[in-house]
Chains A and B, each alone.
Chain A
């Protein structure tokens, strides 16, 4: 080996060692600066999404390896990147699973209760609101405790309202089934368009 080659090899070795050292130092710094609040919020995104995906399908599907893997992967992606499209994809995955399993199970005659639906709705909203709060925060961001408190208060209110809505729907199920199909569809479309219009308009409204 010539002197030039030896020098080059030494430089490469020294460079690789420096990079390794710098990487280890960066990792240790990140570990030292890790803040509990954003990590817990990310957990509050990933765990409810995974639980909702497990609740949305019958137990025999929920135990299948492929389904668990897909649900866990999407939930993990949503937890790691709460500011992107991952939470939306994970929620759509839950919805599609719910619809497909509902369509197949209805044929089998096993209809899940409205309370399961309410649980899925609560879990989805928990994940959504946690992702909304934490979407711009890094795992090292030191968060004011009041941010978590406000989020908790809001979440509690919304979940309570959802449970009340579920109760109302349970009480009036018989009344809904008695309506004519045409009236139900018209009323549903009007209600849906109204809600969407109000929400979309509120974005552009200037007081």
Chain B
């Protein structure tokens, strides 16, 4: 192979053109327009004064000469050093303040003014005075500054780049701009309030809050029955025994926990997200609803796992408790729907679902055939499936022609038919309505289970 081989000059697969790595130029002090102006005015005034014998021009040049000489008496040599430092907690909730810390150190014995200009993701509204501000830094000292804004939507948002420029000698000298790349702040979704009093249909663990079909020690009364050898004495129901003159005991059902698997259909996004205060898109509704259900069951003691049914196919391990609920919110914050995703495989997701006895909650807008295939396959396999409809009610196609409303109506009728077919398969389909919105369908699932 020679160096002139055309195969060597083929373009790479990478869409980004090959470039030399860009390095930031070093930060240096330089003169400003103000210094040039002062020196120029002094020169013009003095020369004209000499040429035309005008003493008044000397007087006009005097404050410029005096002021410039006074300001340039102490000049900085080394530029201030700026760096971003991590905050203790780099995540915040929707609607709260996302912040990054910036430290500027001035090594010179001259006070300088530092001008900080920060940019941020469109979902972060920089606070007034926290994104564009000027601070004075004393001689040989450092100052800690805060770049902060209000996070309007969940997700990983970039706070930066931050441009830092220092000015000294009353604006006669300035540094070149130092560009800091900024940091990513994780904004956790604020889940809707969700509370469910219903027990889950398949209790599977060792201990928990759901009643099992098996008897055992707990407070859940199953029946009052005749005493049998082996029954504990403290279980004897003395009131019934007195009345019937026979020994009766209270039999209870054991309480178990269960697995809840949340499947998030993230194939398509529709609707325009308005952030925490505005309208919700499909992704918003999915993430907030999943966060609410996951937090409720994880805090209750059930094991909650999450699976993405989308381009990335991520999976969050099953777990219970407060820490797991927080970790699930962080996992949900990194959900993203690429504009042109690779379609996911329902078979792969089916294989990821742990046991036959877990409750599967599918959050889906019911817009793709693959999601319907997945739900139908789970239902046919005899797994309990709960389908949460995450298509926001206000989302509709943009009106392009006269026929758009009619076409939309036909499409909605078709969608209703699909929902009815799913219900025929034993899938409970319920639109997300926040608190206690799943109680009815959970009760229905329980009835079907214990029938």
Task: State whether the Cβ of B113 lies closer than 8 Å to any Cβ in chain A.
Answer: yes
Closest to B114 in A: A144
Tell me whether A142 and B60 are in contact in the complex, defined as CB-CB below 8 angstroms, given that A128-B34, A203-B31 are known contacts.
Answer: no
Contact of A147 among B42, B54, B113, B128 (CB under 8 A): B113
List chain B residues, Cβ under 8 A from A33. Answer: 128, 132
Contact of B67 among A84, A129, A169, A192 (CB under 8 A): A129
List chain A residues, Cβ under 8 A from B20. Answer: none
Closest to B53 in A: A184
Task: State whether the Cβ of B228 lies closer than 8 Å to any Cβ in chain A.
Answer: no
How far, in whole Å, are A141 and B129 apart by their CA atoms in the complex? Answer: 7
How far, in whole Å, are A114 and B33 apart by their CA atoms in the complex? Answer: 29
Contact A85 B43 (CB under 8 A): no
Contact A141 B134 (CB under 8 A): yes
How far, in whole Å, are A147 and B171 apart by their CA atoms in the complex? Answer: 11
> For residues 56 through 107 of chain A, which have their beta carbon under 8 Å from a beta carbon of chain B?
83-85, 87-88, 91-92, 95, 98-99, 102
Task: State whether the Cβ of A17 lies closer than 8 Å to any Cβ in chain B.
Answer: no
Contact A188 B132 (CB under 8 A): no
Task: State whether the Cβ of A16 lies closer than 8 Å to any Cβ in chain B.
Answer: no
Q: Chain A, interface size: which category? A: 35 or more
How far, in whole Å, are A66 and B126 apart by their CA atoms in the complex? Answer: 44
Contact A200 B115 (CB under 8 A): no
Tell me whether A154 and B134 are in contact in the complex, defined as CB-CB below 8 angstroms, given that A33-B128, A142-B128, A185-B50 are known contacts.
Answer: no
> For residues 24 through 62 of chain B, which have their beta carbon under 8 Å from a beta carbon of chain A?
31-35, 37-50, 52-62
Q: How far is the CB of B63 from chain A (nearest CB, A)?
A: 4
List chain B residues, Cβ under 8 A from A143. Answer: 133-134
Task: State whether the Cβ of B165 lies closer than 8 Å to any Cβ in chain A.
Answer: yes
Contact A3 B113 (CB under 8 A): no
> For residues 116 through 164 of chain A, which have their beta carbon under 8 Å from a beta carbon of chain B?
117-118, 120-122, 124-125, 128-129, 131-138, 140-144, 146-147, 150-151, 154, 157-159, 161-162
Tell me whether A191 and B34 are in contact in the complex, defined as CB-CB below 8 angstroms, given that A165-B59, A202-B72 are known contacts.
Answer: no
Contact of B32 among A32, A135, A137 (CB under 8 A): A135
Task: State whether the Cβ of B450 lies closer than 8 Å to any Cβ in chain A.
Answer: no
How far, in whole Å, are A141 and B113 apart by their CA atoms in the complex? Answer: 13
List chain B residues, Cβ under 8 A from A35. Answer: 128-129
Chain B contact residues: helix, strand, loop or mixed:
helix
Contact of A161 among B44, B45, B63 (CB under 8 A): B63
Task: State whether the Cβ of B14 lies closer than 8 Å to any Cβ in chain A.
Answer: no
List chain A residues, Cβ under 8 A from B55. Answer: 114, 169, 173, 176
Q: How many of B's residues come within 8 Å of A, CB to CB?
A: 64
Contact of B115 among A6, A137, A181 (CB under 8 A): A137
Contact B134 A142 (CB under 8 A): yes
Contact A132 B170 (CB under 8 A): yes
How far, in whole Å, are A165 and B56 apart by their CA atoms in the complex? Answer: 11
Task: State whether the Cβ of B399 lies closer than 8 Å to any Cβ in chain A.
Answer: yes
Q: How far is the CB of B5 from chain A (nearest CB, A)?
A: 51
Contact with A along B62-82 (1 / 0, CB 8 A): 111111111110010100000
Contact A121 B68 (CB under 8 A): no
Closest to A29 in B: B125
Contact B42 A199 (CB under 8 A): yes
Task: State whether the Cβ of B136 lies closer than 8 Å to any Cβ in chain A.
Answer: yes
Contact B172 A132 (CB under 8 A): yes
Tell me whether A95 and B60 are in contact in the complex, defined as CB-CB below 8 angstroms, given that A125-B67, A129-B170, A158-B66 are known contacts.
Answer: yes
Closest to B116 in A: A141
List chain A residues, Cβ under 8 A from B57. Answer: 95, 99
Task: State whether the Cβ of B234 lies closer than 8 Å to any Cβ in chain A.
Answer: no
Q: How far is the CB of B84 from chain A (nearest CB, A)?
A: 19
Contact B32 A132 (CB under 8 A): yes
Tell me whether A91 and B59 are in contact in the complex, defined as CB-CB below 8 angstroms, given that A135-B32, A195-B42, A195-B65 are known contacts.
Answer: no
List chain A residues, Cβ under 8 A from B134. Answer: 137, 141-144, 147
How far, in whole Å, are A176 and B37 apart by their CA atoms in the complex? Answer: 29
Task: State whether the Cβ of B245 lies closer than 8 Å to any Cβ in chain A.
Answer: no
Task: State whether the Cβ of A171 lies closer than 8 Å to any Cβ in chain B.
Answer: no
Task: State whether the Cβ of A51 lies closer than 8 Å to any Cβ in chain B.
Answer: no
Contact A196 B34 (CB under 8 A): no
Task: State whether the Cβ of A39 lies closer than 8 Å to any Cβ in chain B.
Answer: no
Contact A132 B77 (CB under 8 A): no
5 A-B interface contacts by CB (under 8 A): A6-B402, A147-B113, A159-B63, A165-B66, A191-B46
Closest CB pairs A-B (n = 9)? A132-B171, A192-B46, A142-B129, A132-B34, A188-B50, A125-B63, A3-B401, A117-B56, A142-B133
